[in-house]
Amino acid sequence: MPVSAPIRLPSPEQSAPPAAPVPYQLPLPFPPREQLRPLLAHRRQH
């Protein structure tokens, strides 16, 4: 059986910050999709 992938981590997002404790907690609440829409639109223009 492959041991390369961590089985304990429920999602790959938590494995991104290895130094941070698990589960990883962001300092600010995740912005709603309404705030992400303008960001995504701006990326498309670039």
pTM, entire model: 0.16
CA distance 33 to 40: 10
For residue 41, is pLDDT > 60? Answer: yes
CA distance 34 to 4: 37
pLDDT-derived band at 30, boundaries 50, 70, 90? low
Rounded to whole angstroms, what are the CA distances from 6 to 2, 19, 20? 10, 15, 16
Question: Do 30 and 20 form a contact (C-beta atoms < 8 A)?
Answer: no
CA-to-CA distance for 44 and 34, rounded, in angstroms? Answer: 16
Q: What percent of the chain has pLDDT over 90?
A: 0
Q: What is the pLDDT, as a whole number, of residue 45?
A: 59
Residue type at 12 in one-letter notation: P
